[in-house]
Structure 1
Amino acid sequence: MKLLIDENLSPLLAQYAEQRRGYIAEAVHNIGFKRTSDEEIFAYAITHQQVVVTINYKDFLYLAQRLDPHPGVIVIREAGLSRSQQWERLDAALEYLEDLGTDLINQILEVKGIAEFRILQIPPL
């Protein structure tokens, strides 16, 4: 699984995912996207087969319902977290997915706390 870290999360999460978990990861900040629309970010992620990691649930749910297939979205449902707290949530989510042995194609993984997860199947509208 490849990851694209949205602009509303610390770009260091990409580095952590690579160094600590062995994922291929990019941060929106590091690929020249600044004030880029969610549509452009999601299109980039689809083109590069990346799961978007964001806190922007509503907009990415809307996009996920309209673009089929897509690699998936991980949504951290807590705002105002420190970088280390963001990493704790993402790290736990990645471990959860590894334990399930599944990908996120056409799905959203909601992360509501350090160990509270919900996978949503996102059928196209």
Structure 2
Amino acid sequence: MRLFIDECLSPALARHLNQSGAHDALHPRDYGRLGERDDEVLARCLTEDRVIVTENAADFRKLVAREDIHPGLIILPNVTRDASLALLLAAIAYLKTLGSPSDVIVNHVLEIDVDGSVRLYPLP
């Protein structure tokens, strides 16, 4: 999957995903984009076809709801870096059970809770 790891999350998430060889993940710290507004992040992700991974649920839900088509949004709870990684990998594994994760998540939001429970819903 092509993922954008929001700056509220650790850049170690992107490094781990990239090292796995299965994903292409970016973190804004790694390319000088810290402090970018959420609408700018969304515009970049639309252009680059990247799923946004964030803890910033309210703001990004509103932004992607305005788009006719978006690559998807994964919302993690506010937990430790290691727990974030485990939950993100669990979210991706869940998407795999439904088909190609990059296809399944299009125009959808996946929210995963601390206990690993997943909610996938269309938006808009």
Q: Same fold (TM over 0.5)?
A: yes
Alpha-carbon spacing, 1:10–1:115, altered in 2? closer, same or farther (3 Å): same
Q: How much has 1:32 moved relative to structure 2? A: 1.5
What amino acid does structure 2 have at the position aligned with 1:12? A
Equivalent residue number for residue 110 of structure 2 = 109
The one-letter code of the counterpart of 2:11 is: P
Residue 64 of structure 2 is aligned to residue 64 of structure 1: yes
Deviation at 1:114, TM superposition (A): 4.3
The runs of at least 4 aligned residues of structure 1 exceeding 2 Å deviation read none
Q: Structure 1 length as normaliser, TM-score?
A: 0.91
Of 74, 82, 96 in structure 1, the residue corresponding to residue 94 of structure 2 is 96
% same residue: 36
Tell me whether 1:118 sits opposite 2:116 in the alignment. no
Question: What SS does the aligned partner of 2:111 have?
Answer: strand
**In 2, Cα distance between equivalents of 1:40 and 1:95:** 28
State the alpha-carbon separation in 2 of the partners of residues 115 and 101 from structure 1: 19
Task: For structure 2, list consecutive stretches of 5 or more residues without a partner in the other structure.
Answer: none
**Which structure 2 residues correspond to residues 1-125 of structure 1 after superposition, within 5 A?**
1-20=1-20, 22-76=22-76, 78-79=77-78, 81-102=79-100, 103-123=104-124
Question: For the residues of structure 2 that align with 1:114 and 1:22, how far apart are their CA atoms?
Answer: 25
What is the CA distance between 1:20 and its match in structure 2?
2.8
Q: Distance in 2 between matches of 1:25 and 1:11?
A: 10
In 2: Cα distance, 1:18 partner to 1:95 partner: 16
Alpha-carbon separation, structure 2, partners of 1:86 and 1:18: 16
Q: 2:116, 2:5 → 1: CA distance?
A: 20
TM-score by length of 2: 0.91
How many residues align? The count is 121
Structure 1 CA distance for aligned equivalents of residues 89 and 65 of structure 2: 26
Comparing 106-115 with 39-48, greater Cα deviation is found at 106-115
Query: Greater strand percent: which structure?
Result: 1
Residue type of the alignment partner of 1:105: V
Unaligned ranges ≥5, structure 1: none
- Opposite residue 41 of structure 2, the aligned amino acid is I
